[in-house]
């Protein structure tokens, strides 16, 4: 599997006015719908699909060496809470590969799901209405 870069949401925030070009939207939708079709055929219901859970593949993993060197030269901000150290992630520009559906933590195996799915702002009408 190719290394993964930033999420589609992070990439969107970097666009002028947060708006993607039409061609990018069409290509992204094609990839997401193909991925969802594959999940459907495998009887997997994601339940938490949104732009934060769509990651852009890196087509050239040499960017990883650059990020590593940058971290050595100028470490990312971090803070310590008790015995844990929290780091801020660096953006990895250079992702232009396929979108990858991620975060299957709330996924459901089967052909039907009832109950809450997805964060409230992203809920589909059938979920809000309590339908399968």
**The token pair that represents 2 in the structure block:** 């190719």
Handedness of CA 25, 31, 34, 35 (dihedral sign): negative
Question: Facing residues of 80 across strands?
Answer: 85
How far apart CA 95 and CA 132 sit, in angstroms, is 36
**Mean pLDDT value of segment 111-126:** 74
Query: Has this prediction a pTM greater than 0.85?
Result: no
List, for residues 62-95, the tens digit of each pLDDT value.
Answer: 888 888 888 889 888 788 889 888 877 776 666 6
How far apart CA 42 and CA 131 sit, in angstroms, is 21
Q: State the pLDDT at residue 14.
A: 86
> For the chain, what is the mean pLDDT?
85
Please name the residue that has the structure tokens 């232009």: 96
List, for residues 29-57, the tens digit of each pLDDT value.
Answer: 999 999 999 999 999 988 888 899 999 99
Output Rg (C-alpha) for the chain, integer angstroms. 18
Domains, the chain, in order of start with CATH, read 4-59+95-129 (1.10.510.10), 61-93 (no CATH)
Q: Are strands 54-58 and 4-7 parallel, antiparallel or unpaired?
A: antiparallel
Using an 8 Å Cβ cutoff, are 61 and 3 in contact?
A: yes
């Amino acid at each position: 599997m190719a290394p993964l870069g930033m999420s589609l949401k992070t990439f969107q925030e970097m666009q002028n006015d947060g708006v993607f070009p039409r061609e990018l939207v069409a290509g992204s939708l094609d990839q997401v719908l193909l991925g969802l079709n594959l999940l459907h055929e495998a009887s997997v219901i994601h339940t938490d699909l949104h732009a934060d859970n769509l990651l852009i593949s890196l087509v050239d993993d040499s960017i990883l060496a650059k990020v590593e060197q940058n971290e050595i030269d100028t470490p990312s901000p971090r803070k310590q809470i008790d015995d844990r150290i929290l780091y801020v992630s660096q953006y990895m520009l250079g992702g232009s590969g396929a979108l990858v559906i991620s975060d299957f933590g709330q996924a459901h195996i089967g052909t039907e799901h009832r109950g809450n799915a997805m964060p409230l702002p992203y809920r589909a009408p059938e979920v809000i209405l309590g339908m399968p």
